[in-house]
């Protein structure tokens, strides 16, 4: 029996995997994507695949990896094709995606990337590069001149390698030859991500050419969007399932959960694909939808991560399963939902059980310790903001107080058996200094409420809040996290 062929065309696919309902070769590119990793291939590329099938158009994607050469080396021999694997309790499904035209390794071919960005056919530039890659100071909403890529590109702006430099230089070149600017769509999981990138690009451009900065501020659209889809790292099992379901060897498969969400500001002056065919929701303002995700999904994630990790539950699925503490997770989600307005296109009553189903997915190995990291960056939006609103409305603040108490117990840096662990938080040293000599739960509560620029003043000084947090933490520290969970479930 001959060895299976490498995936190179749709004609090679003979297994159970579904194939694009269009001929990729008949569609040109219209998008350049920076950061062609697993999440992009599980999310935006899949939506674009559905858009091409439903509405056609020249909207295929030229992907670019700014550092690694691996995505290009995996995708280009396959003509951009790859297998998207979806896993849940009901089984495994596969879909071959045809929306990627090719991939560029920018470190190896920087001129190719710039040419693609300047190409008049490119009408949208999307990005998933993580917050750290931009080099934007979020507090000041200006470029961080000490960021390595920003500093290098400011010294040599016509040959950039960083995200802000690439966008600014490509827009400069398009302006010089009177080509309309592309729309810049950040798809990183960041609040108000359109404004975040806009401020960075405009400030970078102004430092090089004030007139260019003003032109970008006036002419270039930076819509925000909210993205959601859990995408674990591919494993040998991913490759084996891709082979089994396509009868092809795939060097670029991606696995993910069935759930996917994309909410987008509808501001695309140069046009856009019919992403709504894949389920995208176009709105006038993404911010309320971001709040929904931050408070209901991410807030519950943080609570269960601290309580789960400290009670010996390695994965999120362990916190929702039979041996978990599902009622407390449901309580938190319900409390978070009560702080939200009505959202067009979203049924919060249906969204809540979707979250629980996702958390329980046995095929997703999402570690509680991983989610617990960087708490000082996550809790203000996820927990503290809805806690303050709940308190000011006179509603029950205990779900949020319990979550904060679990974070405080985590900040102690020891398991119930005394074993130490690293907090993995950017303010870990500061937290450690505050907790020196803190023995009683009230000492820990007082010390951490003194963490600068963390708790809102109206929350920090509220006696009901402080008493409730102290009550929750007292049981966690006195009886252990498992006992605290059991007792809290009875309240």
Q: What is the pLDDT of residues 300-329, one digit of tens each?
A: 999 999 999 999 999 999 999 999 999 999
Give the burial string for 362-381 (b: 16+ CB within 10 Å, else e).
Answer: ebbebebbebbbebbebbeb
Helix axes 398-411, 385-392, angle to 10 degrees: 140
Mean pLDDT to the nearest integer, 63-80: 97
From 283, 305, 324, the end of a domain falls on 283
Q: Are residues 10 and 134 in the same domain?
A: yes
Q: Are residues 26 and 157 in the same domain?
A: yes
Q: How far is CA 40 from CA 235, 256, 334, 367, 470, in A?
A: 17, 11, 30, 21, 42
Classify strands 142-143 and 136-137 as parallel, antiparallel or unpaired.
antiparallel
Q: Are residues 249 and 331 in the same domain?
A: no
Rg (CA), the chain: 24
From 254, 283, 312, the end of a domain falls on 283
Residue-level pLDDT at 379: 97
Alpha carbons 430 and 125: distance in angstroms, whole number: 39
Alpha carbons 340 and 342: distance in angstroms, whole number: 7
The stretches of 338-384 forming alpha helices (DSSP H) are: 348-360, 368-372, 375-379
Q: Are residues 44 and 26 in the same domain?
A: yes
Question: Can you read off the two tokens belonging to residue 76?
Answer: 């280009």
From 231, 252, 283, the end of a domain falls on 283
Alpha carbons 191 and 287: distance in angstroms, whole number: 8
Q: How far is CA 242 from CA 53, 142, 256, 442, in A?
A: 22, 44, 13, 54
Residue-level pLDDT at 1: 57
Question: Can you read off the two tokens belonging to residue 350?
Answer: 């249906």
Burial (CB < 10 A; 0-12, 13-18, 19+), residue 162, is buried
Q: Are residues 186 and 298 in the same domain?
A: no
Total number of domains in the chain:
2
> What is the residue range of 28's domain?
5-283
Strand order in the sheet with 124-127: 100-105, 60-65, 29-34, 124-127, 183-186
Alpha carbons 365 and 256: distance in angstroms, whole number: 11
Q: Are residues 278 and 320 in the same domain?
A: no
Tokens 């400069």 map to which residue? 172
Q: Are residues 346 and 403 in the same domain?
A: yes
- CB 438, CB 444: distance < 8 Å: yes
Residue-level pLDDT at 491: 84
Report the CATH number at residue 19.
Answer: 3.40.50.720
Alpha carbons 332 and 397: distance in angstroms, whole number: 10
Mean pLDDT to the nearest integer, 57-64: 98
Question: Can you read off the two tokens belonging to residue 384?
Answer: 């503290």
Mean pLDDT to the nearest integer, 221-229: 97
Mean pLDDT for all residues in the chain: 96
Q: Are residues 253 and 304 in the same domain?
A: no
Helix (H) or strand (E) holding 101: strand 100-105
Question: Can you read off the two tokens belonging to residue 110?
Answer: 């920087």
Classify strands 82-88 and 91-97 as parallel, antiparallel or unpaired.
antiparallel
CA quadruple 285, 286, 290, 296: dihedral positive or negative? positive
Helix (H) or strand (E) holding 399: helix 398-411
Mean pLDDT to the nearest integer, 236-246: 96
Q: Are residues 151 and 182 in the same domain?
A: yes
Q: How far is CA 334 from CA 161, 296, 338, 349, 353, in A?
A: 45, 8, 6, 9, 10
- CB 34, CB 125: distance < 8 Å: yes
Residue-level pLDDT at 137: 93
- Of 414, 364, 396, give the one whose Cα is nearest residue 488: 396
pLDDT at 438 over 70: yes
Report the CATH number at residue 414.
Answer: 1.10.1040.10
Q: How far is CA 380 from CA 78, 375, 434, in A?
A: 44, 9, 19
- CB 458, CB 388: distance < 8 Å: yes
Residues 48, 52, 53, CA angle at the centre, nearest 5°? 120
Alpha carbons 463 and 242: distance in angstroms, whole number: 56
Exposure on the CB side of residue 447, measured as CA atoms within 13 A: 19
For residue 471, name the pLDDT band (cuts at 50, 70, 90): very high
Which residue would you say has higher pLDDT here, 90 or 2?
A: 90
Q: Are residues 250 and 310 in the same domain?
A: no
The pLDDT tens digits of the residues spanning 343-367 come to: 999 999 999 999 999 999 998 889 9
For residue 3, name the pLDDT band (cuts at 50, 70, 90): confident
Residue-level pLDDT at 433: 97
Q: Are residues 266 and 201 in the same domain?
A: yes
pTM score: 0.91
- For residue 18, what are the β-bridge partners? 95
Q: Are residues 273 and 340 in the same domain?
A: no
């Amino acid at each position: 029996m001959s060895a299976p062929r490498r995936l190179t065309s749709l004609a090679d696919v003979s297994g159970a995997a579904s194939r694009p309902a269009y001929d990729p070769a008949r569609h040109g590119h219209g998008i350049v994507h920076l950061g062609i990793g697993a999440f992009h291939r599980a999310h935006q590329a899949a939506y674009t695949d559905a858009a091409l099938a439903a509405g056609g158009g020249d909207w295929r994607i030229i992907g670019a990896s700014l550092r690694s050469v691996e995505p290009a080396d995996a995708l280009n021999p396959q003509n951009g094709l790859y297998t998207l694997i979806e896993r849940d309790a009901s089984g495994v499904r596969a879909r071959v995606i045809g929306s990627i035209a090719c991939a560029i390794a920018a470190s190896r071919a920087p001129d190719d990337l710039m040419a693609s960005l300047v190409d008049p056919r490119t009408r949208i530039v999307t990005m998933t590069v993580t917050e750290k890659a931009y080099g934007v100071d979020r507090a000041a909403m200006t470029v961080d001149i000490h960021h390595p890529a920003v500093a290098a590109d400011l010294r040599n702006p016509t040959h950039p390698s960083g995200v802000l430099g690439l966008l600014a230089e490509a827009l400069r070149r398009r302006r010089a030859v009177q080509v309309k600017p592309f729309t810049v769509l950040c798809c990183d999981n960041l609040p108000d991500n359109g404004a975040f990138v806009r401020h960075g690009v405009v400030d970078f451009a102004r430092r090089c050419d004030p007139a260019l900065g003003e032109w970008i501020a006036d002419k270039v659209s930076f819509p925000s969007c909210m993205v959601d889809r859990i995408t674990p790292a591919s494993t040998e099992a991913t490759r084996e399932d891709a082979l089994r379901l396509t009868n092809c060897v795939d060097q670029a498969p991606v696995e993910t959960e069935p759930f996917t969400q994309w909410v987008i500001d509808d501001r695309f002056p140069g046009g856009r694909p019919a992403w709504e065919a894949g389920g995208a929701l176009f709105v006038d303002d993404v911010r309320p939808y971001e709040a929904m995700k931050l408070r209901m999904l991410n807030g519950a994630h943080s609570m269960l991560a601290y309580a789960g990790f400290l009670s010996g539950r390695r994965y999120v699925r362990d916190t929702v399963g039979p041996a978990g503490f599902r009622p407390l997770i449901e309580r938190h989600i319900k409390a978070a939902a009560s702080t939200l307005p009505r959202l067009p296109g979203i049924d919060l009553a249906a969204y809540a059980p979707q979250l629980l189903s996702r958390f329980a997915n046995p095929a997703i190995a999402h570690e509680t310790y991983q989610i617990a990291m960087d708490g000082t960056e996550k809790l203000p939006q996820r927990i503290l903001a809805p806690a303050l609103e709940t308190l000011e409305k006179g509603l029950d603040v205990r779900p949020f107080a319990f979550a904060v108490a679990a974070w405080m117990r985590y900040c102690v840096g020891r398991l119930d058996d005394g074993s130490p662990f690293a907090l993995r938080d950017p303010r870990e040293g500061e937290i450690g200094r505050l907790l020196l000599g803190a023995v009683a739960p009230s000492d820990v509560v007082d010390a951490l409420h003194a963490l600068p620029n963390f708790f809102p003043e109206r929350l920090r000084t509220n006696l009901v809040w402080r008493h409730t947090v102290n009550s929750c933490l007292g049981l966690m520290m006195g009886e252990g996290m498992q006992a605290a969970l059991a007792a809290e479930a009875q309240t």
